[in-house]
Structure 1
Amino acid sequence: MTNRKAIKNSNTSYILIFTCLFTIVSCIVFMPFMIENKSFIWISDGTDQHYTSLIYYSHYLRSIIKHLLTTGKLSFPMWDFKIGQGSDIITTLHYYCLGDPLALLVVLFPEKYMTNCYDFLVILRLYLSGLAFSAYCFYQKKDKTAAFAGAFVYMFCGFSLTYIKHPFFLNPLIYMPILFIGVEKILKKQSPSLFIMMIFLSAVSNFYFFFILTILTFIYAVIRCFCIEDISRNIKYLVQVMGKGIISYILGTAMAAFILVPIAMVMKQTSRYAESGTGVFLFYPLEYFRRLFLSFTYIASENYWDHADAVKNTITKDSYWSCLGFAATAVLVIILLFVSKNKKLKSVKFGFLAGLCFICIPAAGYVFNGFAYVSNRWIFGFAFVIAFSFTLVIPSLKKGISNFVWLGSALWVAAIFAVNTISIIMGYHKDFIGISISAGFIAILFIVERCRKYIKNDIFVYTFVMLTIISICINGNLFYNKHFGNIINEYSYRDEYRNNLRNSSLKAIKHIKDSTFFRTDTYRYTYDNAGELKELSSNESMLLGYKGLASYFSLINSNYSNYIQQLDIIGVLSPHRIYNLDNRTVLNELASVKYSIEMKEKKGDVPYGYKFIKNINSKREKAKLYKNRYALPLGYGYSTSMDTKDFEKLNPIDKQQAMLSNVILTENTDISGIEKGNYTSETVDVRYRKSSEKTIKPEYEKHYGENEYTMKPFSNSETYLLLKNVRFSGASRVNVIAQTKNIIKFAKFYDKSEIYYYGRKDAVINLGYYKKGISNFVVYTDAKGKLSYDKMEVISVPMNSYAGKVKELKENSMRNIKVSGSRITGKVNLKSNKLLCLAVPYSSGWKAKVDGKSARIYKANIMYMAIPIQLGKHQIELDYCTPGLLPGSFISLIAFFVFIGAVIINACASLSVFKHSRIYRV
C-alpha cells in the first residue's frame, strides 16, 4: 500500500512539474502569436475548413441537444444544403472534427469565443501528446527525468510545430504511444482491451491518420516481436500474440464501422484521392536531402523554408511534409544510441533505421499517404523514435561520454557548416543560426563533461535536459518569429476572419425576403481591382446560413467534382475546392440559383436574365444584389432525355446547352412517356484575330505574355473562351487569365509534378453576357514562361430562345417545396409523363416516394437526381440517410457486444484463476 502511495505521489509530482514547464515552454515557443495578436488559425485551410467546421459542429451539436430537450427525441441531421450545393454532414465533417472526442468541447463555446476554443484545443492536444508519451515511458519503467525530456522533444517536434495549422493532425501524437502500450500488453499476454479501445478511438477520430497509425503500429509490433528473444525464438508464442493482435485490431475496427463504412464509400469516389500528379517516383531530388539534413535540428532554417515567397512555403513541394526540427541535443543522442552496445536499445535502433529508410524512399511516403501521392505525414512516428531515444540514452550520460562520440558530434556540426556553405554558393539565403545553436550547445556540454570530476554526475544530466528544453524553445520561437522563420505570417489575426465575414456583403443573403428554396451565387472566385482573390472562405454559407454553390472540403460529393471537370468550369482551384459555376447562365439555372451578389465595380459578369435589386454597402466592400427572373425551383420536369454517348461527343458549351432541353441520364434506359431528344447546336464560332493595339490594360499585379484579340461582337449573347490542351513551361502552377474591359477571370493549371494536379488540360472561361456583345479581350499569365495550347476558340451563345426553354421546364416543376433537415417534400401536377430533375447532388443515400410508394432515383445531368413521374397530381417525398451508416452501425453494434462480452468473461475468469505471465521490457 505504501509503495502504491509513493508511486501515486511521484506521478502527481511529475504531472505538476510537467504542466508548469509545458506552460512556460508553450509561452516561449508561441510568443510570436501573442506579440502579433495572432491565433492558431491558418490562413486558407484553417479559416475555410477547420475554424468553419468547428463553428458549424458547435451549432450542430447544440441543435441536437436542443431538439432532444424540447421533443424528447434524439435526431441527427445527415444532410445540409448549406454545404456546397448540398452534402452529407457526417462524411464531410469527419475529417475535421466529427468523431474526434476532443472536438466535442466546442459545444461549450459560443461562436464568438470559437477562436479561443480553437487555440485551446491546439494547446490541449500538444499537452496530451506529452502525457501519452510519458505514460508509455512509465509503462516501460523508464527514468522519469529522461521521460520528461523525451516528452518535450516529442511534443514540440517539427511535425507538431508545423501542423498546429491542421489541429487534428496532432491527434495521432496522442493515440500512438497508447496504441504501443496496447501492443506491449498483447505481447505480454495481458488484456488487449486497451489496444482495442485505442484502435476504435483512432478509427472514429480520423480515417486518414487511422491508416497511418495502422502501418506504424504494425511496424512497431514486428520490431518488438523480433527484438524480444523469448518471443522471436518461440514460434508458438509468436503465432499466439500475432493472432491475438490481429483479432483485436479487427474487433476495434469493426466497433468503428459506423464511421468507417460511410467514409470508405465516399473515399472510393472522391476526387481528392483519385488522380494525383506526383504519383510515386524512385528517388527524391538532391534538394530534398539538403533541406532535410539542415532541418534536423533547426526547422526555422531559411534553407528549409523558401523566403523568396514568404507565405508559400516549400515544405509541401520540396520537402514532402518531412518536418523534423528536433532539439539540437538530438545529434548527441543519435550518436550515443548507435555506439551503445546495450541490447535493450536494439528495438529503437531498428526503429530509427526503418524511419530513416522511409524518409529517403518516396515509395514509403506514397504508401503511408494511402497511395494518393508522396507525403511524409507519418513523420510523427519518426519523432517518437527520436524522443524515445532521448529517454533511453539520458540515463547513460551519468557514465560519461567517450571522445569518439564528441568527435562524431563535431563532424556532424562540420557537415552542417559545409552544407550551409554550399547552399550560399548555390544562391540560397545565408543562415548560420542552426549551426550556431548546434555547435554552441554541444560546446557547452563538452565543457560541462570536462568538468565532471568537479561536479556530480546528475548535474551533467540536468544540464543536458535543460539545454534540450532551451533548444526546443529557441527552435519553436524562431520558426514562427517574423524575423526568422516568419511562419507567423501564415496565421490570421484573432477573430479577423469571423469579423471580415460578418462585415461582408454576403450577410445580406440571409435577410432576403423569399420563402422559396433558392441558391445564391457569390463573387468569391473573381479578382478584385488589385488582382487578388477576395479574402473570404469558400464555405461561408455554412456560417452565414444561406444556400450557395461553394465547397472546400477534402471529401466532397464526387458527382459535383465530375460536373466541374466534364464542363471545364474554371470556378475551382481543384475538384474539391469549388467557388462557383463561373456565372454560366445555364449552369446557374439548372442549379436553382435565384440570386447573385457581385462586386459593385463589375459590369459584365451578371448572367443573362438577372435584374438589379439593390446596392449592398457593407464595412468591407460595396456589392450589388441581382435576382434571376427565370429562376427554376429545386425540382423541374423534362419531357425528353438524351443518350449519354451523344452527349459526351459535345464540347462543354454544347453540353450545358443540351441540358437545358434534355435530361441526361447516366443509365441509357427507356422510361415510359419520355422520348429520346435531339440537340441542335445554336452556338456560334466567332472569328477573332490578334490585335496590335493595346486597349485593355492587364489589372492583375503580375502579368506576363499578354496578347490582345479583337472579334466581331454578337448582341444578346454569352461569350466563352475555350482553351484546349493547355501547356506552360516556366512554373509548375499558373493562372491563365482572360480579361475584358469589364471583367477579369482565371483558370488555374498545375503541372503533373504538382501534388494538386488533377488532370485539367482544358478550360472554358465565361467572358460574360452582353446585350451589345464584346469586341476585345486579352489573355496572359501570372508567371513567367511560355503558354501554349492546341486550340483557342471563341464561342457565342445567343440567348434568344433561352426564356422559352426555361419556361417549359418551369411549367412542369415541383411546387410547395419544403426542405427540412434530411427531408424534401413537394407536389407536382403534370399534363404528361415527365422526368422530375432535382437540383440535389446525387447520392445513393436519398430514397424517394411518389404518393407513398417507393420510386427509383436516376443520376441526371451528371450530378443531379431525376425521378420518373406519371401525368397527374402527385405528392413527392425524399428522405436521406448517410450511405453505409446503417450496415456500419449494425457491424459496430455486434462488435461492441463481442467486446463487452469478452471483457465480462475475462473479468469472471480472473476472479477464479490468477494467471502469471512473464513481463518483457525494452
Structure 2
Amino acid sequence: MENKQYPISKTLLPGLELNLIFFILCGSAVQVIFGQQHTLFLLLRLIYTPGIVLLAGLYTSKDDNNVSFLLKHAAVYAVLFIFFGLCNQVLLNHKKPFQSVIRLVTMVKIPTPSEMFFTAAVLFLCAGLAARYVDRIYKRKRLLILAGVLAIAFAFFPSDIFGYPIIGVFTGCETYDCIALLPYLGYFIGGIFLGKENVLFSKKISVGSLVVSFISAVLLFTPLKEAALITLPAFPVYLLYLLAGLFIPFRKLTEGLLLLGDKGIAVLRGWYQDFMNNRRKALPLYFAVYTITFVIMTACVFFSFIEYDNSIAWMHDAISQYIPRIHYFTDYVHECISLLLKGDFNFPSYSFRVGLGNTVPLSYEPVYWLFALFDSSHVEAAYNIITIFRFFLAGLSVSVFFLYHKKGYFESLLGSMMYTFCGFAIYAGVLHAHFIAPMIFLPLLMLATEEIFRKKRWYLCTIFVAVALPANYYFIYMSTLAMGIYYIGRFLFTKDRDKKTWKYFFTTTATFAGAYLLGVVIGNISLFTSFASFMSSGRAGNSEIAASSFFDYGSAWLTRLYTYFISSPGSPGAWLKLGFIPFSYLAVVILFLKKGNRLIKFLFLICAASCIFPIAAFVLGGFSTITNRWCYILALLVSFITVRAIPELRGLTRKELKTLFISLLPYLLIILMNRDYRTEFTLASLAILLCNYVVILCMNKELHLINMHTSKAALIFLCCASLTLNAYYQYFEGKNTSPTSFAKQGHVIDEITDTPMKVLNNYPDDSFYRVSTAEIPRKNLCSSLVMNYNSIATFSSTISGPVIDYNVGMGNTAWNLVQLGGFDNRTFMNALACVKYYALAKDELSALPYGYEEVPAKKDKKSPYGIYKNNYTLPLGYTYDSTITEKEFYNYSALERQELLLQTAVLDDEHVQLPKKTFVPTASEAKITDYEAKGLKIKKNIVKVTKPGATLTLSFKGMNDSETYLVFDGSLNPTKSNGQHMVNLDLSCKDYKRNLDFRSSNHTYSTGQDTHLFNLGYREEAVDSCTITFNNTGRFSVDSLKVYCQPMDNYASYIKELSENKLEDIQMHSNTITGNISVDKEKLLVLSIPYQKGWTAYVDGKETDIIKANVMYSAISLKPGEHDVKLVFRRPGIKASLCLSAAGIVIFIIALIIRRRRIKMNK
C-alpha cells in the first residue's frame, strides 16, 4: 500500500469541516430561493451526514484527551442549531420568536435545515464521551472487527421506530426528519482508522471506496435501496477529504482563515484576561462590554414587543397621560426657544388645553429634557428610545456603585444586568417609565453616603440630591430613608475603632445633614411645583389602608413572598415586584452561611421585615397608602449580595454545599406540591436555580470539574437566561403587561386621537369655548394636549382640591381621584364649564345634553362624527347678583346643587356676600313602582350577585322634557373589610348605555363621595325603566337607590340671566387674559377658570382679589360701571425657588473653595 504519511495538520480537518458546511449552506440556499428540496436532501445524504460522521471520527482519533475540544464542537453546533432553527421558524414560517426558541430547546420541533446541526451537536457530544475508549478499541482487533460488523448491520437498521428526536437522531423517527446517525457508524470507524494510520492518500482506499460507491449505485434499483444510500457516499466523501488535504489554494485559504481566527482569539483572550484581572486599563473595556451586553439583553428582554409589533407605550397611563404630555412638552420647548431667539422671555405658563385649565406641565427629571431633541411628530419613537435609555443609565449607575466597592468587572457586569432588568424594572419601567429614575439615582446616593462616612467627597451627596429631588420627590423620600438606615448601620457595624466614636458619628452626621440639605436647597424646584400641587390635591391626606392590619398581609403572603423572590410575573401583591435571578437566592443563603458581613445581613433583615409587615409599606409609601414601590431599594441590596457572593463560590466547604442544597428543598417542595405555585414560569425558575447549584458544585475547588472562566461564563449565561425568561413571562401573561396592554408600533398617536374631537378642525371658531363628547375613554383623557382643543377632561395625579370638592359635591360619576372624564353629559354642569360643542358619533345621540343642535361642517368633508352646538353657552366670564355660603350650599342635595349654581353664586363663608335669592328646586323624585332582579338577591341594603351579568331592572314614572338620574346615596362597596376592589356596572335606559367602574371606599383612587348621580340622558318623552348590569360577582352594600327627573323648563332663563352682564372682547395672550364688562349694580364676575394660586386680577388697572366661587371656579367682585379686566398668571413659587437655588449654588461653590484650600494646606 502506497500511503502518503503526515502528522494530522492543523488545516486538514478544519478544511474538511469548512467544505461540509459550505456544501450544506449552498443546499439550504437553493432550497430557500428555488424551493428545490431534493437538492438539500441529496447533499445531506451524499455529502454532509457521512462527511460529518467521518470528521467526528478523525477528530476523535487525534488524542485520547480530546474531550474538551469535542464538547466545544458540540456546543458550537448546538448554537448553530438554535440560530438556523430560529431563522427557519421566524423568517420563513412566521412563527413567534420566543415560542420558537422554547420549542427548539425542548426539541418539540426540529425544523429543516437546522436538524443537521442538531445531529452534529449530538454526534460530537457522543464522540466526546467515547473519545477516551477509542484507542483501546482500536488496539483490540476483535473489538474493531465487531464494530465494523455492527456498522454494516446498522446500515440496514429500520427507521421510524421511535418518536422523540433525542433517540430519533440515532435511529430516525416521525417527529425528527433528519437522517439517522447509527447507519453511518461505519464512516465514524473509517475516520478513526484514517486518523490513527495517518493515511491521506491510498490506492487501496481510493479504489475500494470507488467500488463501494459503484456497487451502491447499482443497488439503488433493488430492495436494498436504503442500505445503498448509506454506502453510496463513500467515494464522494473520500474525494472531499483529499481535496482538503491536497488542494493547495484551499489549504492556503484554510490556513489564512485559521491564522486570522487565532489572532482574533488572542486579542479577545488578552482583553478577557485584563477584564477578569481587574486591570485599570480594562475600565473603558468594561463599559464597552456593558454596553454590548445591555444591547443584547435589551433585545432579549423586550423581544416580546418586537414579536407582537408593540410599542413600549402602556395603553393605560402612557397613552392617556405620559405621551400626550411629552407631545405638548416638545412643542412647548420649541416655542420657548423661538420666543427666546426673538428676545421674548414671557414663556407660556398656563394652558386651557390641560384639563379645565392648569399650569403648563413640566418635568424636572434631567433625562426627560432629552425629549426636547425630538419633534412632536416623532414622540412615539422618542418615548421608546428614552425609556430604553433610562434602563441603560440604571445599569451604568449601579456599575459605578459596584466598581466603587472594588467588585470585579465580571461581578459588576452580572450585577448590573440583574439590577437593570429586575422584576421592579421590567414591570414598573414599562408601565411608568419615570419609575426607572430612582433606580438611576439610588446607587449614586448610596455611594455618596459611603463617601461622607469615610469623610471624603461630601459634595457628591449635594450634587446627587440636587439632581434627584427635582426628578421625583416621591422616590427621593424613599431613597433618603434608605440612605439614613445604611448610614446608621455603617456606624454600628464598622470595624474601624476610630470611626466608632460618638464624636466621629456626630461630625459626619452634621456633614451628611448639611450636604443633603444644601442639595435640597439647590434642587428645591419640585417642592415649589410638583409637591405643592400634590399637597393642594385631593390625594394629600387621602390615606386609605387596603389591608386588615398594619402587621399582617394575610395567611398566604409569606408563601408568595418566598416563591416569587426569584420568579416573575408573580408578585405577593401591593406593588412588591421582586423577580430576581435564581442565583440571588443562593447568594442570600451563602451570605448567612458565612460569618461576618453584619452590615449586609442587618440591611437584608430590615428589608425582609419591610416586605412582611404592611406598616413598613405605609411609612415608605409616604403615609398615604400601603404600597411597596420601595422594592427597587431591595433590588440594589440583593444585587450587591449576589455580586459579593461570586468570589466565594470556589471556596465553599462540603458542609456549606450540603446546606446550600438543603436550602433548595423548601422552594422545590412548594413548587412541586402546590398546584397554585406550580406554573410554567416557576418551574422555569426552579430549573435555572438547580442549574446554578450544579455550576457552583462543579466550580468548587475541591471537585474542580470546570475552571473559573467556564463557570463564570455559565453564571452569566444563566443570569441572562433567567432575566430573559422573567421578561418573557412578564410580558406574555403578567398583570397589566400582556401584549394587549400596549399600543401597536406606529399607532400610539392614532390611539390618543381616536376620538370624535378629531373633526373639530372642520368647525373653526375663534371664541373661547370647551368641548366634550358622550363618553371620554381613558386613552383620550389628555388628547387635548395633542389635538389642541380646550377640554373638560384630564388625567393627573395632582387634580386640585377645589376641582375634587366640586365633583364630590355634585355627585359626579365620570371621574376618580386622578381622572376627570367630564361631567357625565349633565346639561347644567356643562353649561357652567362653558361647553359649547359636543362631538358625537351618529349612534351616540342619546347622550346629547339638552339644548344642542347639529351644525354643518365649514369644510366639505364627510365624517362618521357630527358636531353639535350648545344654544345656551355661557362665556368665559358671567355674573351673579346673589350669593350663598358654602355651608348653606351643602345643605341641598347633589342634584339640587347643580341647579342652584345656575341661579346664585357660592362663596366661602369669610367673603362678603351679595343679597340672597330664594331658591326653589325643580327636580323631583320618580317613584320606583317595580323592580326585576336576575342573577342577584337583595336583602335590606345588601345586593348579592351570584353570577356576572346579573341585572336589576327598575320601573318608574318619569317626566317629559327632562334629564333622568339614577341616584345612589351612600357608598357602593364590596362588603369585604379589606382590599382594594372595583365594581363594574352597565347602565341602560332605552337607547342610552354606559359602562362605569366604581372603587371601594378604601381604594387608592376612590373619590370618597357619598352620593352618586348617574345621568340616564335627556328625553323629550318620559322614560319608565332602566337596567343595572353587575359585571362582578360578590356582595355589595347599597344604602339608597332612587330615580329623579330634572326638567329643563327654566334652563334657558337661567343662562340668559347669567349672560346679561358678561366679559366681552376677550383676548388671550401668553399668561394674560383681557376683556371688558359693564354691570348696572354690584355683581360677582365668575370666571370659568379653576381656582388656583398664580393668577392675579387687575380691574381698571388696580389689583383685585380673586376669590373662590362655586366651589372650584374663580371670581372677582365688581362695582357698578364699565370695567377693563386683566388676568395675569405667574407660575406659583417659581421666583422663590430660583432664588433659593441660586443661593444654594453660591454656598456650594464657596464650600468647595474652602475644602480645596484646606486640602492644599494639609498637603
Same fold (TM over 0.5): yes
Query: Aligned runs of 1:396-795 on 2, under 5 Å?
Result: 396-399=648-651, 401-424=652-675, 432-449=683-700, 452-481=703-732, 487-502=738-753, 504-525=755-776, 534=777, 536-572=779-815, 574-614=816-856, 622-671=864-913, 674-691=914-931, 704-729=949-974, 732-795=981-1044
Show the counterpart of 2:409.
Answer: 144
Structure 2 residue matching 1:40: 3-state secondary structure = strand
Show the counterpart of 1:531.
Answer: none
Show the counterpart of 2:484.
Answer: 218
- How far apart, in 1, do the equivalents of 2:567 and 2:330 lie? 38
CA 431–296 in structure 1, closer or farther in 2 if over 3 Å, else same: closer
Show the counterpart of 2:1117.
Answer: 868
Show the counterpart of 1:186.
Answer: 452
Show the counterpart of 2:545.
Answer: 278
Structure 2 residue matching 1:272: 3-state secondary structure = coil
Show the counterpart of 2:330.
Answer: 58
**Is 1:355 aligned to 2:621, yes or no?**
no
CA 238–621 in structure 1, closer or farther in 2 if over 3 Å, else same: farther
Deviation at 1:330, TM superposition (A): 1.1
Q: Is the 8 A contact 1:328 1:437 kept in 2?
A: yes
Deviation at 1:643, TM superposition (A): 2.5
Amino acid at match of 1:633: P
Q: Is the 8 A contact 1:504 1:620 kept in 2?
A: no
**Is 1:387 aligned to 2:636, yes or no?**
no
- How far apart, in 2, do the equivalents of 1:618 and 1:200 lie? 55
Deviation at 1:639, TM superposition (A): 0.4
Show the counterpart of 2:522.
Answer: 255
Q: Deviations over 1:713-764 (max 9, x none)?
A: 3111122111112444478210243211121234432224533334234310
Q: Is the 8 A contact 2:649 2:699 kept in 1?
A: no
- How far apart, in 2, do the equivalents of 1:756 and 1:428 lie? 32
Amino acid at match of 1:855: T
Structure 2 residue matching 1:735: 3-state secondary structure = strand
Deviation at 1:104, TM superposition (A): 1.1
Deviation at 1:644, TM superposition (A): 2.1
Amino acid at match of 2:578: L
CA 477–193 in structure 1, closer or farther in 2 if over 3 Å, else same: same
**Is 1:337 aligned to 2:574, yes or no?**
no
Q: 1:242 aligns with which of 502, 509, 517?
A: 509
CA 848–483 in structure 1, closer or farther in 2 if over 3 Å, else same: closer
Deviation at 1:59, TM superposition (A): 1.3
Q: Is the 8 A contact 2:1064 2:1077 kept in 1?
A: yes
Q: Is the 8 A contact 1:640 1:676 kept in 2?
A: yes
Deviation at 1:202, TM superposition (A): 0.8
Higher relative contact order (CA 8 A, sep 6+): 1
Q: 1:171 aligns with which of 437, 440, 454?
A: 437
Q: Is the 8 A contact 1:271 1:575 kept in 2?
A: yes
Q: 1:833 aligns with which of 1082, 1089, 1092?
A: 1082
CA 536–741 in structure 1, closer or farther in 2 if over 3 Å, else same: same
Q: Deviations over 1:603-643 (max 9, x none)?
A: 32211111112489999983321100110111000000012
Deviation at 1:411, TM superposition (A): 3.2
More helix by share: 2
> Alignment identity in percent?
25
- How far apart, in 1, do the equivalents of 2:1139 and 2:701 lie? 67
- How far apart, in 1, do the equivalents of 2:677 and 2:504 lie? 56
Q: Is the 8 A contact 2:763 2:857 kept in 1?
A: no
Q: Is the 8 A contact 2:827 2:849 kept in 1?
A: yes
Structure 1 residue matching 2:768: 3-state secondary structure = coil
- How far apart, in 1, do the equivalents of 2:711 and 2:966 lie? 71
Q: 2:344 aligns with which of 73, 80, 87?
A: 73
Deviation at 1:909, TM superposition (A): 3.6
Show the counterpart of 1:372.
Answer: 624
Structure 2 residue matching 1:840: 3-state secondary structure = strand
Structure 2 residue matching 1:890: 3-state secondary structure = helix
Q: 2:1105 aligns with which of 853, 856, 861?
A: 856
Structure 2 residue matching 1:251: 3-state secondary structure = helix
Give the alignment's Cα RMSD to 1 decimal: 2.6
CA 53–403 in structure 1, closer or farther in 2 if over 3 Å, else same: farther
Show the counterpart of 2:573.
Answer: 319
Show the counterpart of 2:375.
Answer: 110
Q: Which has the larger radius of gyration?
A: 2
Q: Deviations over 1:530-573 (max 9, x none)?
A: xxxx473211111110001111111122211111111110111x
Amino acid at match of 2:379: M
Amino acid at match of 1:877: K
Q: 2:359 aligns with which of 85, 88, 93?
A: 88
Unaligned 5+ runs, structure 2: 1-273, 935-946
CA 396–413 in structure 1, closer or farther in 2 if over 3 Å, else same: closer
- How far apart, in 2, do the equivalents of 1:899 and 1:157 lie? 36
- How far apart, in 2, do the equivalents of 1:538 and 1:545 lie? 13
Amino acid at match of 2:993: I
- How far apart, in 1, do the equivalents of 2:933 and 2:502 lie? 83
Amino acid at match of 2:832: L
Q: Is the 8 A contact 1:725 1:789 kept in 2?
A: yes
Show the counterpart of 1:312.
Answer: none
CA 730–156 in structure 1, closer or farther in 2 if over 3 Å, else same: same
CA 504–738 in structure 1, closer or farther in 2 if over 3 Å, else same: closer
Query: Aligned runs of 1:795-814 on 2, under 5 Å?
Result: 795-814=1044-1063
CA 507–717 in structure 1, closer or farther in 2 if over 3 Å, else same: same
Q: Is the 8 A contact 2:963 2:1046 kept in 1?
A: yes
Q: Deviations over 1:786-826 (max 9, x none)?
A: 44422222221121111111111111110011222322111
Amino acid at match of 1:297: I
The alignment covers a number of residue pairs equal to 867
Tell me which moved more, 651-660 or 407-416: 407-416
Q: Deviations over 1:464-522 (max 9, x none)?
A: 33322332233223332469997333222113231234454312224422111000012
CA 276–680 in structure 1, closer or farther in 2 if over 3 Å, else same: same
Q: Deviations over 1:694-714 (max 9, x none)?
A: 9xxxxxxx9533122222231
**Is 1:100 aligned to 2:345, yes or no?**
no
Tell me which moved more, 722-731 or 120-129: 722-731
Q: Deviations over 1:23-71 (max 9, x none)?
A: 11111111111111111111101211222222121111111111111x2
**Is 1:823 aligned to 2:1072, yes or no?**
yes
- How far apart, in 1, do the equivalents of 2:490 and 2:739 lie? 40
Unaligned 5+ runs, structure 1: 305-314, 526-533, 695-701, 915-922
Tell me which moved more, 431-440 or 46-55: 431-440
- How far apart, in 2, do the equivalents of 1:489 and 1:293 lie? 29
Q: Is the 8 A contact 1:842 1:865 kept in 2?
A: yes
Q: Is the 8 A contact 1:720 1:795 kept in 2?
A: yes
Q: Deviations over 1:552-603 (max 9, x none)?
A: 111122211111111110111x122111001111110010110011232123
Show the counterpart of 1:233.
Answer: 500
- How far apart, in 1, do the equivalents of 2:397 and 2:582 lie? 23
CA 381–692 in structure 1, closer or farther in 2 if over 3 Å, else same: closer
Q: Is the 8 A contact 1:276 1:758 kept in 2?
A: no
Tell me which moved more, 676-685 or 764-773: 676-685
Deviation at 1:427, TM superposition (A): 10
**Is 1:265 aligned to 2:532, yes or no?**
yes
Q: Is the 8 A contact 1:615 1:622 kept in 2?
A: no
